[in-house]
């Protein structure tokens, strides 16, 4: 692999950028792998990368039914933060945050991680109490956070309507300065290129249609395009399609798949240099480096696999954004889309072995897993390599729904993000 | 936007009048004090979540305020039929017949 550098950029300029090496190979799948990862989103690709990099397991394939990163990875609103309430979740997301901070260097790929800070607005007394509680919990866990009053929020975001004229006036916010955004598809591409360089086979257009078992242990997968591929261990990282995969071995997961929509405006000049989220009026917004306003909606209530939702859902989102930012009332929207998110009853992921030996799931990230991409891959790789849960993954096992040890992050997960 | 037929109001109304209420026909354990944790978790948390035909509950929130069932394709979002609580859907006829006492909600 040719490393990317400014020198390389200059060199390739001389040949009009026509001789760049392909970012990854396009191999024909082998008959057998030590580990097969199903799902070529950010989490699956990160898992493959850390398997090869940290655990030296390189006989690995990532099977993706569409194209790499074409699922939720390239459909999300790219917010990265780690200010979750409970220790288990806070540690997991903060583990990820630390990996984000060195990720572009590590992958030799600019993932455009921009620590521009995230504001979670409070509009009621109860909001502010919850914010105080969460920020205090964060600080005890070594995670940066501050409670701001309305005046401080106004100073950070002059275009935000912090007046008393709104239906739900802004009373303050939690502020995580190290939080921010990253370029989502660059994250998929960066992990893909780095994994490929370590010998991982990335197989696109390869849909898994069955998981094969023998005596209660998974032995391989059946694919639509390339037939049977056997594997020592299988990791399913298919987000909204997790129940479909689980169903192949007769497993029922505590998940529901919902459409989650987002939209971007036409590009405008820089006007918003941080991320603003509000649980109460229910919207979240940032501005991409290209200039478009990136706006996320809430989930559609019904179970849906169609990667599209209902119009009134995005209409309500726009209303919320305008309540916060009347200045955007005449900005035109450019594109709108949906992803399928796998929501879990406690708004926390499942990173777990299953009753089927050698079959593991990493799912349930729902509306907020982009921020966890490197950390999720890192702990899931360790789980797959050793056959037992990484300490950070342990609380997120499937059996928590039987024991009752749920990790209720509905407060910190709040709006979809 | 879904256009949903409420079997009580006997009218198609827009989705905004309704709330989705999850998978239908999940029976509560007969003896909740003596069922296992796994049985309880099956009831509370685990769902079929199919890609395809789904029997589900809807609530006509700003209409008649009644719960009813629907069969909807979760891939195409097409609603095959809706039927009252306590009824069985008659898919072939495209209508719903009343079979009291079977499979409440
Ligand atoms: C609109 C929207 C906004 C969001 N905003 C945020 C945000 O701001 N911050 C945040 O942290 N998170 C956000 N999220 C959530 C985040 O996008 C996801 O949690 C995360 O990207 C999940 O990554 P993944 O790799 O697990 O899944 P995906 O990227 O969906 O990858 C799963 C892959 O599996 C493949 N697959 C499925 N079935 C099969 C099969 N049978 N065989 C082979 N391959 C298969 C799919 O094609 C897909 O590429 C948002 C999500 C959406 C939809
Ligand atoms: Zn009605």
pLDDT of residue A1: 80
Domain tally for chain B? 1
pLDDT of residue B91: 65
pLDDT tens, residue by residue, A231-285:
999 999 999 999 999 999 999 999 999 999 999 999 999 999 999 999 999 999 9
Partner residue opposite A255 with nearest CB, options B15, B47, B76: B47
Q: Which atom of ligand 1 is nearest to the CA of A371?
A: 11
| Average pLDDT for A68-95 | 97
Check which CATH number belongs to the domain holding B61 and give it. 3.30.2270.10
Is the pLDDT at B97 greater than 90? The verdict is no
Would B58 be classed as within a structural domain? yes
Partner residue opposite B2 with nearest CB, options A244, A255, A310: A310
pTM: 0.96
Would B12 be classed as within a structural domain? yes
Q: Of A238, A244, A363, A402, which to mutate for an interface test with B (greatest number of B Cβ within 10 Å)?
A: A402
Is the pLDDT at B95 greater than 90? The verdict is no
Is the pLDDT at B48 greater than 70? The verdict is yes
Contact of B51 with chain A, judged by CB distance below 8 Å, is answered with yes
pLDDT of residue B105: 36
Partner residue opposite B48 with nearest CB, options A252, A305, A401: A252
First to last CA, chain A: 35
Answer whether A385's CB lies under 8 Å from A51's CB: yes
- Map tokens 């929501």 to a residue: A343
Interior CA angle at A133 toward A131 and A138, to 5°?
A: 90
Residue B32 in tokens: 């909740």
Contact of B78 with chain A, judged by CB distance below 8 Å, is answered with no
Q: Confidence class of residue B92 from pLDDT cuts 50, 70 and 90?
A: low
- A119 Cβ below 6 A of ligand 1: no
Ligand nearest to the CA of A62: 1
Q: Confidence class of residue B89 from pLDDT cuts 50, 70 and 90?
A: confident
| Average pLDDT for B36-54 | 97
Residue A274 in tokens: 């941080």
Indicate left, alpha or beta for A204 from its phi (over 0: left) and psi (-120 to 50: alpha).
beta
Partner residue opposite A303 with nearest CB, options B16, B45, B54: B54
Would B104 be classed as within a structural domain? yes
| Average pLDDT for A335-345 | 97
Pairing relation of β-strands B79-84 and B67-73? antiparallel
Q: Which domain holds residue B10?
A: 1-29+37-42+53-105
pLDDT of residue A412: 75
| Average pLDDT for B21-35 | 95
Q: Is the Cα torsion angle B42, B44, B46, B51 positive or negative in sign?
A: positive
Cβ contact B22–A304 (<8 Å): no
- A180 Cβ below 6 A of ligand 1: no
Would B81 be classed as within a structural domain? yes
Give percent above pLDDT 90 in chain A.
97
Q: Confidence class of residue B101 from pLDDT cuts 50, 70 and 90?
A: very low
Would B61 be classed as within a structural domain? yes
Q: Determine the distance in angstroms separating the CA of B65 from the nearest CA of chain A, rounded to an integer.
A: 17
pLDDT of residue A411: 78
| Average pLDDT for B10-33 | 96
Cβ contact B56–A402 (<8 Å): no
pLDDT of residue B90: 66
Answer whether B47's CB lies under 8 Å from B32's CB: no
Residue A197 in tokens: 């360089």
| Average pLDDT for B39-65 | 97
Residue B88 in tokens: 């069985």
pLDDT tens, residue by residue, A109-133:
999 999 999 999 999 999 999 999 9
Please give the distance, rounded to the nearest whole angstrom, from the Cα atom of residue B13 to the centre of ligand 2: 8
pLDDT of residue B104: 34
Q: Determine the distance in angstroms separating the CA of B90 from the nearest CA of chain A, rounded to an integer.
A: 23
Give the number of other Cβ atoms within 10 Å of residue A250's Cβ: 9
Query: 3-state SS of chain A: helix, strand, coil percent to 5?
Result: 35, 25, 40
Q: What is the mean pLDDT of chain A?
A: 96
Is the pLDDT at A323 greater than 50? The verdict is yes
Roughly what angle, to the nearest 10 degrees, separates helices A87-101 and A373-386?
Answer: 110
- A347 Cβ below 6 A of ligand 1: no
> Which residues place a Cβ less than 5 A from the ion ligand 2?
B 6, 8-9, 60, 63-64
pLDDT of residue B98: 39
The torsion angles phi and psi of A414, rounded to 5 degrees, stand at: 35, -110
Q: Which residue of B has its CA nearest to A342?
A: B49
Is the pLDDT at A2 greater than 90? The verdict is no
Would B80 be classed as within a structural domain? yes
Is the pLDDT at B1 greater than 90? The verdict is no
Length of chain A: 417
Give CA–CA dist A267/A269, Å, rounded. 7
Would B88 be classed as within a structural domain? yes
Answer whether A355's CB lies under 8 Å from A64's CB: no
Is the pLDDT at A108 greater than 50? The verdict is yes
Would B23 be classed as within a structural domain? yes
């Amino acid at each position: 692999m040719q490393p990317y550098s400014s020198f390389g950029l200059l060199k390739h300029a001389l040949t009009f950028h026509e001789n760049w090496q392909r970012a990854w190979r396009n191999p024909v799948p082998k008959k057998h792998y030590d580990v097969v990862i199903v799902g070529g989103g950010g989490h699956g690709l990160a898992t493959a990368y850390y398997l090869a990099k940290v655990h030296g397991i390189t006989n690995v394939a990532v099977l993706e039914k569409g194209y790499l990163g074409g699922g939720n990875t390239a459909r999300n609103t790219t917010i990265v933060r780690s200010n979750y309430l409970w220790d288990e979740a806070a540690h997991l997301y903060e583990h990820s945050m630390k990996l984000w901070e060195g990720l572009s260097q590590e992958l030799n790929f600019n993932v455009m991680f921009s620590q521009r800070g995230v504001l979670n607005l409070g509009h009621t007394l109860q909001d502010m109490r919850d914010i105080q509680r969460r920020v205090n919990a964060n600080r005890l866990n070594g995670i940066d956070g501050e409670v701001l009053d309305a005046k401080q929020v106004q100073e950070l975001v002059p275009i935000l309507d912090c007046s008393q004229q709104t239906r739900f006036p802004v009373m303050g916010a939690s502020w995580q300065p190290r939080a921010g955004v990253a370029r989502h598809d660059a994250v998929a591409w960066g992990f893909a290129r780095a994994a490929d360089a370590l010998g991982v086979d990335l197989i696109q257009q390869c849909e898994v249609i069955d998981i094969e078992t023998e005596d209660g242990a998974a032995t391989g997968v059946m694919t639509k395009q390339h037939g049977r591929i056997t594997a020592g261990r299988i990791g399913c990282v298919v987000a909204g399609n997790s129940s479909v995969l689980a169903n192949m071995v007769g497993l029922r997961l505590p998940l529901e798949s919902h459409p989650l929509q987002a939209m971007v405006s036409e590009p405008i000049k820089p006007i918003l240099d941080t991320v603003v989220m509000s649980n109460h009026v229910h919207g979240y917004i940032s501005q991409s480096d290209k200039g478009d306003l990136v706006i996320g909606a809430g989930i559609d209530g019904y179970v849906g696999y169609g990667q599209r939702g209902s119009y009134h859902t995005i209409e309500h989102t726009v209303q919320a954004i305008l309540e916060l930012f009347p200045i955007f009332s005449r900005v035109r929207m450019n594109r709108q889309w949906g992803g399928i998110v796998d929501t879990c009853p406690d708004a926390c992921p499942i990173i777990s072995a299953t009753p089927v030996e050698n079959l593991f799931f990493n799912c349930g990230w729902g509306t907020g897993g982009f921020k966890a991409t490197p950390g999720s891959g890192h702990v899931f790789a360790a789980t797959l390599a050793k056959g037992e849960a990484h300490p950070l993954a342990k609380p997120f096992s499937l059996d928590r729904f039987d024991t009752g040890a749920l990790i209720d992050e509905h407060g910190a997960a709040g709006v979809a993000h | 936007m879904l256009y949903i037929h409420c079997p009580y109001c006997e009218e198609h109304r827009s989705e905004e009048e309704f709330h989705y209420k999850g998978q239908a026909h999940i029976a509560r354990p007969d003896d909740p004090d003596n069922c296992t944790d796994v049985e309880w978790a099956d009831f509370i948390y685990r769902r079929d979540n199919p890609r395809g035909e789904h029997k589900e509950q809807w609530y006509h929130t700003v209409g008649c305020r009644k719960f009813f069932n629907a069969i909807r394709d979760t891939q195409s979002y097409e609603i095959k039929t809706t039927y009252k609580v306590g009824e069985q859907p008659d898919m072939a006829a495209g209508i719903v017949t009343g079979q009291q006492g079977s499979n409440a909600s």
